[in-house]
Amino acid sequence: MGKNKIPATVAILTLNSEKTLYRCLRSVKDFAEIIVCDGNSIDKTISIARQFDARIVFQFKSEVKNIGIKDKAEARNVALDASIYDWHFWLDSDDALSSKLVREVGRIAKLKNPSQFVYQVPLRQIVDGKIVKYSTNLPWYQVRFFHRKTRARFVKPIHEQVSFNQNKYHTGRLTGSYDVYIDKNRLENFLANEISYARKDVESIRSNLNFRWYLRWIIGFQLTTLLGLLIRIPLQYLRFGTKETMPLKIELSRVVGKSYVVLKSTLFLIRKLSKL
């Protein structure tokens, strides 16, 4: 490990990520270990990763190229198991760490006797080069940095999360952001991506869908979130205007995604109950 390196692992999932990976890796170059967990990319992803001395591990034991990921938690755990440092930070190839966050993580990782072992990190969204200050999903904090002592594992195949004993380990909160970049191409395809994620959400709950689950997950969360979006979106633009606000296309795409989950799940449940 280099003298000034951060004694921690940063793990990144990739698949044909040549357009964004350099920016991502440049932001984490101070970490002692960089792991790129790849889905057998066919572009320059691997060669870019090697420029930063990243360790390459693969999401699948397969020679087949260009494999789309089905279980992100499983791939995250592959990278986690391959890491050699106790502290672990995870992100995607189109993310980057702010310099402030890197300094915070470095300070914590170098502590001999840390008092906390799990940290949430705030999200900052940058759309077509513009920092978004106002969005229906802000403020947003997510567990991104944790210590091996917690025995944390990644769960959920689509919207993966870090699972750990929350009764035993209190969650701290950092102030530096991890940055998610949405370029013109991603912006143009945002609706299609939201629908794709929504379809995967529905498929993931379809086999376990019953009336109790429907009330708790679809009504209690998805429908509540959808109604909240419908209220907050117009109020957001009336109050803050459009200059520093999330583009309307993205906000409406989120509405469509949530609507799809609620509608399809309702139809599945009706069909299931009608067969009883």
Checking if the pLDDT of 207 tops 80, the result is no
**Contact status, residue 1 vs residue 7, Cβ threshold 8 Å:** yes
Mean pLDDT of 11-33: 98
Does domain 6-182 match CATH 3.40.50.300? no
- Both tokens assigned to 54: 């990243």
Nearest Cα residue to 39 out of 16, 21, 5, 9: 16
- Structural domain spans, the chain: 6-182, 189-274
DSSP label at residue 149: G
Name residue 76's amino acid: R
Percent residues over pLDDT 90 in the chain: 84
* 159-169 residue pLDDT tens: 899 999 999 99
Amino acid present at 41: S
Q: How far is CA 185 from CA 28, 114, 189, 225, 248, in A?
A: 24, 42, 6, 27, 16
Instruction: Say what the pTM is.
Output: 0.92
CB 233 within 8 A of CB 251: yes
Q: Do residues 165 and 108 touch, judged by C-beta distance below 8 A?
A: no
Whether the predicted pLDDT of 260 surpasses 90: yes
Q: Which two tokens stand for residue 20?
A: 């964004």
Range of weakest confidence among 28-42, 109-123, 192-206: 192-206
How many whole angstroms separate alpha carbon 109 and alpha carbon 125? 26
What tokens does 201 get? 């959400």
What's the pLDDT at 28? 99
